Chains A and B, each alone.
Chain A
C-alpha cells in the first residue's frame, strides 16, 4: 500500500473510531450510565483506597 493511501485508510479508521466513541457516550448517557458513574464517584471507594 502506498504511503498516501495508507495515510488515508488510517485517517478513515480514526474518523470511524471517533464516531463510534461519540455514539457510545451518547448511548451511555441515554441509558443512565453517567449517573451510575457519578453515584460511584461521590462515595469513598473503600476497595480503591485499600480499606475494603
Chain B
C-alpha cells in the first residue's frame, strides 16, 4: 500500500475518533451514548471532538474507582481489539500516530539512537503499562480513589487534543491552570519535537496502549508472514522499517506497527499479510 493511502485511512480514522468538531470552538465535550464505547486509538475522552472513551483513561478510571481494582469491560475491549489487529491499530487508526507520522516528514536531520539506548528506552512503554495497571489501585487518596496517573503526568495526547482546546475555549479552566499544565505542555513539546527527529518516539518508548497491542501482535488474527522460499535476504525491508523491526527474523515483533512499508518495498513480494485462520 502506498504511504499516502495509509495516511488517508489514518486521517479518516482521526475524524471518526473526533467527529464533534463544533465542540472545539465551544470549550465543551461530547456527552452522547457513544461514550460508553472505548475507541481503538489513544484519544482522550476529554477531547472536545471525541466520540468515544480512551481505553487507557477508562482503564485507569475503573481501576482507580472505589469499588474494584480490575476492569473487565475495558480490559476485554483492549484485548479484543489487540487480538484482532495487534499494532495495525497503531499504524492505521491511532490519531496520535498520524500526528507523529506527519511531524516526521518535516525536513530535518534524522538521527538514529544507538541500538542499546533505543532498546533500553523501548521498555519505557511496558513501565507505563505497569503504572496504568498498578498505580491507580495502589496510590489512592483519603476516599480510596486513585488518579489516572498516566493521563495526569505523561499523556501528550490528552494535553494536545483535550487540554489546549478546552483551555482556549473555556475561561473557567483557563483560570485553573498551574504547574501541572506547564509540566504536561513540556512533555507534549518534547514528544512533538522528538517526532520530527525520530520516528514515532511516543509509540516506541511511552505508549501503554501500543505495549498491550504489541504483546498481542504474535497472537493477533491479522498476521504478517515472510515467505522463506521467495525471500532473497536483500535486507531492503529491514533498511526501510522505521520501527527498527528485524523483519526477516521476527516479523510479528511487538514493535511492528504493521504499516506495510516492508511489504510494499520487498522486490520479490515475499512479505504477506492476512488472517491467522487462513491457510498456513
CA distance A10 to B79 in the complex (A): 16
Q: Smallest CB-CB separation from A49: which chain B residue?
A: B163
Give a binary string over A2-33; 1 marks a CB under 8 Å from any B CB, 0 the rest. Answer: 01100110110111011011111111110101
B57 is an interface residue with CB less than 8 A from chain A:
yes
B61 is an interface residue with CB less than 8 A from chain A:
yes
Given A37-B74, A41-B35, A47-B147, the answer on whether A18 and B180 have CB atoms closer than 8 Å is no
A13 to chain B, nearest CB (A): 5
B45 is an interface residue with CB less than 8 A from chain A:
yes
B123 is an interface residue with CB less than 8 A from chain A:
no
State the interface size on chain A (CB cutoff 8 A): 40
Chain B's interface: helix, strand, loop or mixed, by majority?
Answer: helix
A26 to chain B, nearest CB (A): 8
CA distance A49 to B180 in the complex (A): 9
CA distance A25 to B220 in the complex (A): 18
Q: Is the CB of B280 within 8 A of A7?
A: yes
Q: Is the CB of B148 within 8 A of A25?
A: no
Q: Is the CB of B74 within 8 A of A49?
A: no
Set of chain B residues within 8 Å of A29, measured between Cβ atoms: 73
Set of chain B residues within 8 Å of A18, measured between Cβ atoms: 80, 83-84, 221
B218 is an interface residue with CB less than 8 A from chain A:
yes
Q: Is the CB of B219 within 8 A of A37?
A: no
Set of chain A residues within 8 Å of B216, measured between Cβ atoms: 17
CA distance A7 to B58 in the complex (A): 34
Query: From residue 50 to 101 of chain B, which have CB atoms closer than 8 A to chain A?
Result: 50, 52-54, 57-58, 61-62, 65, 71-77, 79-80, 83-84
Given A37-B38, A50-B184, the answer on whether A25 and B72 have CB atoms closer than 8 Å is yes
Given A25-B80, A28-B73, the answer on whether A42 and B162 have CB atoms closer than 8 Å is no
* 12 intermolecular pairs with C-beta atoms under 8 Å apart: A22-B76, A28-B71, A28-B72, A28-B73, A28-B74, A36-B62, A37-B38, A44-B162, A44-B166, A48-B44, A48-B46, A49-B46
B residues bordering A, Cβ < 8 Å?
29-31, 33, 35-36, 38, 44-46, 50, 52-54, 57-58, 61-62, 65, 71-77, 79-80, 83-84, 147-148, 151-152, 155, 158-159, 162-163, 166-167, 173, 176-178, 180-181, 183-185, 216, 218-221, 276-277, 280
12 further interface pairs, Cβ-Cβ under 8 Å (given A38-B36, A41-B45, A48-B162): A8-B280, A10-B219, A14-B277, A22-B80, A25-B80, A28-B75, A33-B62, A44-B166, A45-B61, A48-B155, A49-B166, A50-B180
